[in-house]
Amino acid sequence: MDKITFEKVLPHVFSQMPERDSDVWQQTLLFEKGKLYLAEADSGMGKSTFCSFLIGYRHDYSGSIRFDEYDIKKYKTADWAILRECHISHLFQELRLFPELTAFENVEIKNQMTAWKSQREIGIMFERLGIADKIHSKIGKMSFGQQQRVALIRALVQPFDFLLVDEPISHLDDNNANIMGEMMMEEVHRQGAGLIVMSIGKHMDLPYDTCLEL
């Protein structure tokens, strides 16, 4: 997949609200592989909704979203499974980790789908993020900031054309946020992928090609 096109997209929940300026909703917008995008929004302006549309969790919108030239409303469940496994990786704001599993198990359950990273590579990622000592700890026993770092590792252990990151550094100090940014950029460049970062405030200082307001 080389591009994502938004054509006059508007969430149904916004259809009865007064019109407002937006660089995304009801616009013609192109996201291209290999480029970096930052989308900023106040709370309640559709940040999580935007992400849910792109990974097929919600379809309650007017207009069209196309992956290359194919309208995503035509995708079936099996198509979405392939897309999430090999084309779009998503770091969720709410993380969606399994609290009863260890940090490593949460990562490996994703990595087993494609065997994209070796166990050694995964171990190095834990070390870089300063949580090597937590690799065999249950996620439910870890702080939210530590869980965020595990969730990032999980997002990077698969092939992707686009990496979608929702509010990635809300509970991190500047040092860990910078390391997360470096690791994201390394994998994005390695795969020649596009990066879309969603934010309602503090965000990673990356060389964005385009900044948008929801």
Q: What is the pLDDT of residues 28-82, one digit of tens each?
A: 999 999 999 999 887 767 888 999 999 999 999 999 999 999 999 999 999 999 9
Q: Mean pLDDT over residues 6-13, rounded?
A: 95
What are 133-153's pLDDT values in tens digits? 999 999 999 998 899 999 999
Those residues whose C-beta lies under 8 Å from the C-beta of residue 61, and which sit 6 or more positions away, are 9, 10, 11, 12, 53
Q: Give the total residue count for the chain.
A: 214
Residue type (1 letter), 16? Q
Those residues whose C-beta lies under 8 Å from the C-beta of residue 97, and which sit 6 or more positions away, are 106, 139, 147, 150, 151, 154
Those residues whose C-beta lies under 8 Å from the C-beta of residue 44, and which sit 6 or more positions away, are none
Residue type (1 letter), 203? H
Please tell me the predicted confidence (pLDDT) of residue 140: 94
Separation of alpha carbons 200 and 35, rounded Å:
21
Tell me the pLDDT band of 105, cut-offs 50, 70 and 90.
very high
Identify which of 146, 152, 143, 145 has the alpha carbon closest to the alpha carbon of residue 92: 152
What are 41-53's pLDDT values in tens digits? 877 678 889 999 9
Residue that the structure tokens 């198509």 belong to:
79
Separation of alpha carbons 9 and 11, rounded Å:
7
How do beta strands 61-67 and 3-11 pair?
A: antiparallel
Q: Mean pLDDT over residues 184-198, rounded?
A: 96
Do the Cβ atoms of 139 and 154 come closer than 8 Å?
no
Do the Cβ atoms of 95 and 148 come closer than 8 Å?
yes
What are 77-96's pLDDT values in tens digits? 999 999 999 999 999 888 88
